[in-house]
Amino acid sequence: MTKIVSPSMLSANFLNLEKDINMVNDSEAEWFHLDVMDGMYVPNITFGLPIIKQIKQKATKPLDVHLMIQQPERYISDFKAAGADILTIHYEASTHLHKSIQTIKAEGMKAGVAINPHTSVTLLEDILQDVDMVLIMSVNPGFGGQKFIKQTIHKIKRLRIEIESSGAQTMIQVDGGVDNTNAARLYDAGADCLVAGSYVFKANDPKEAISLLKKA
Ligand code: DX5
Ligand code: ZN
């Protein structure tokens, strides 16, 4: 099983972003996780296209963009132009999810679907073959530094079984409250990719923190 680590730049130091980008470039992490929030779909507002465009200039690894915005289909081509390599949209925020997934792929990006803690993995049955990645939220989206919701382990296991039995190639990403105390359980349950924000950036040695997630 793959073990991909995608540090969430939401917890990075925006007064010295280049330093944190270089840290991820030099680390064992595979991707940059970028959380875009619109203040409507989630209560928080973060950053958008101009910042991502600048991160793209310094990042030497793929940009894994997590859109927490209403009607994400409005911005698919804009995020491609800004430099997104993987674009994840929320199941709950998309009216025509199948169509949006096709558009993301037609733009040349990998397509992800995110589900909130209350959304059952069984609802993805008819879209699984079409998506490259399912992002299972292990906190309610909106903020970094929240407590991991334990029920997530059960959801990962169920989705892993569903993926194996359908023959789909879909990856499972877990986002929220991930650290070195739960990483091994998440990989064991069937996760391929872990997102971690505060755990990485609040660590004394962020590169070592990433390394511990890889070794979990
Ligand atoms: C939350 C975001 C997460 C967040 C994770 O809505 O989607 O990516 O940055 O932060 P931690 O790892 O601190 O929970
Ligand atoms: Zn995220």
Tell me which residues have their CB within 5 A of the ion that is ligand 2.
35, 66, 175
Of 20, 64, 175, 179, which residue is the catalytic one? 175
Q: What is the pTM of this model?
A: 0.98
For residue 183, the one-letter residue type is A
Residue 63, domain CATH: 3.20.20.70
Helix axes 206-215 and 17-26, enclosed angle (nearest 10): 40
Query: How many whole angstroms separate alpha carbon 1 and alpha carbon 45?
Result: 34
* Joined tokens for residue 143: 């903020």
Tens of pLDDT along the chain (216 residues) come to 689 999 999 999 999 999 999 999 999 999 999 999 999 999 999 999 999 999 999 999 999 999 999 999 999 999 999 999 999 999 999 999 999 999 999 999 999 999 999 999 999 999 999 999 999 999 999 999 999 999 999 999 999 999 999 999 999 999 999 999 999 999 999 999 999 999 999 999 999 999 999 999
Q: Which domain holds residue 47?
A: 4-215
Question: Ligand 1: residues within 6 Å at CB?
Answer: 8, 10-11, 33, 35, 66, 139, 141-142, 144-146, 175-178, 195-199
CA-only gyration radius of the chain, Å: 16
Q: Is 179 a catalytic residue?
A: no
Total tally of structural domains belonging to the chain = 1
Instruction: State the closest ligand 1 atom to the C-alpha of 196, by its place in the atom list counted from 1.
Output: 12
Coil vs helix vs strand at 107:
coil
Atom 6 of ligand 1: nearest residue by CA position:
141
Q: Positive or negative CA dihedral for 23, 28, 32, 33?
A: negative
- Which runs of consecutive H residues, i.e. helices, occur in 33-151? 49-58, 76-82, 97-106
| Overall residue count recorded for the chain in this entry | 216
